[in-house]
Amino acid sequence: MTMKKNELLSLAKPHYDKDQLLELDHAIDIATKAHHGQKRKSGEPYIIHPIAVAATLIDWGMDIDSVLAGVLHDTVEDTDTTLEDIEKYFGKDVAFLVDGVTKVSQARAGMQDLTEYLPQTKDNLSKLLIAVGQDVRVVIIKLADRLHNLQTLQHMPRDKQLKIARESLEVFGPMADKLGMGRVRMQIEELAFSYLDPKEFKRLQNTVRKRLGKSTRKLGGVRETVDKALKEQGISFEINGRVKSIYSLHKKLNKVNGNMADIYDLMALRIIVNSKEDCYRVLGILHTLYQPMIARIKDYISVPKPNGYQSLHTTVLTPSEQIVEFQIRTHDMHEFAERGLAASFHYHEQKSSKGYSKKKSAAVLPTHMQWITQLQEIAGRLRNGEEISSSQLNVDLFGDRIFVHSPRGDIYNLPEGGLPLDFAYLVHSDIGKHAYGFKVNGAIHPFDKPLKNGDVVEVMTRKTSLPKKAWIDHVKTTHARNKLRAQLRQLGVIEGISHAAAIIREKTRKKKAS
């Protein structure tokens, strides 16, 4: 369904003040005029796309500057409108956001798949990372743009469908996940997977449909029992069902050799309450009613996921031997699980994310924002001419993450497979420099053994201990590798690049770019 100007303004009316609505009206007029005569592949007027993007941003609860940038996001790249024009009418913030989204589009157009990362794509990748790292709203606008393009992908030729779908799974789905935007990640993954492997998508869809018919009837009785027990305890709650997405099911089946019998969470019951204390009360009541599967109790409230997700998960066995998963969370936790970082941009507040991404120590930075800081650091290194492989980018930015703890209880976010030295350098470069050993969960731990989620890591240091060249093989993150190499150069253990060599490399880089 295509949305018109008046419908967008009606959608926006409850959320923005009179002056902001006038700005939105003006932005739609400018974009409509700029895109006049342009058509989408469907044959419809191009303006339906920016209007759809803006509608999505309103639905996500974004500030007015983001919505204006959503309306105007293609004008600089595709029409005669300039950034100066946008700044003149709507101010520096909106122009900055439009410029950022334009850079992402230009970078994306020149990128190969991340798995085929080549030197000539470095500048494009650098633009992408710099653009999304400067202001989180840039990537949120880009996610809204990508979502609508996926929703209308049927009008594109097959080769374009495959390229856009693959890129969505490799780059934009993980970006949504890192920002905690679970609902958006799921929408992107479902749409992309349906184009990449339509036969498997339909097969799993049919399998889910058949199994849900039986599960829904069985779950009805469990739901009634839980509903009654919670009301008796005077707990205010909402209870509803959650169906596992097709792409999540596909990934899970790959881990269990395709055995559907090993999938316990195809459908789960979600209980939403008013407070954290109520979450734990509900967990206790469920474990009184049913036998818990101890190994499947997950407390993501005390230890959130790296993207900020919080919830209690438990899987129980009912007297009829039915296995049921429950998710328990507060209303705020649920909003964040659905909208992630976008939930931080409240209506009317004009909140810029730049304040979030100022450099702070890893321990105090909100866990779901550590990714933005890591992204900014890598963007800076790419901008300075450093080569970073696709495998390293996948480790630092798009791979799975783990949490580890310091003995004081501070939480640190590392890539899956991260090593003790990665932790030491994340805490502080001097801690890494003077490390001579590690204790993990109270036991001596070797330098080359990966850390696991939830580990408590103690770095043993002494002033006389200094980095060794062999340590280069015992770090996984770009951050640790760069800190270590700088220290080794300073100690004369490895040679720095001579001034002449640096000049030659810079000339070669400029020659390639021209």
Annotated active-site positions, please?
77-78
Cα 106 to chain centroid, rounded: 21
Query: Six-digit token pair at 261?
Result: 């019998």
H/E stretch holding 237: strand 237-243
As a whole number of angstroms, the distance between CA 176 and CA 132 comes to 12
As a whole number of angstroms, the distance between CA 21 and CA 28 comes to 11
Query: To which residue do tokens 């990362």 refer?
Result: 117
Amino acid identity, residue 142? K
As a whole number of angstroms, the distance between CA 345 and CA 179 comes to 13
As a whole number of angstroms, the distance between CA 105 and CA 99 comes to 10
Q: What are the start-end ranges of the E strands in 134-191? A: none
Exposure of 275 in the CB half-sphere (CA atoms within 13 A): 5
Q: What are the start-end ranges of the E strands in 337-421? A: 401-405, 411-415
Amino acid identity, residue 442? G
Q: CA nearest 132: which of 441, 403, 379? A: 379
Residues 444-447: contacts with CB under 8 Å, at least 24 apart: 445/420, 447/419, 447/420, 447/421, 447/471, 447/474
Query: Six-digit token pair at 197?
Result: 């492997």
Q: Show Cβ contacts of residue 243 under 8 Å, excluding neighbours closer than 6 positions.
A: 208, 212, 266, 267
Return the number of other C-beta atoms located less than 10 Å from residue 430's C-beta.
14
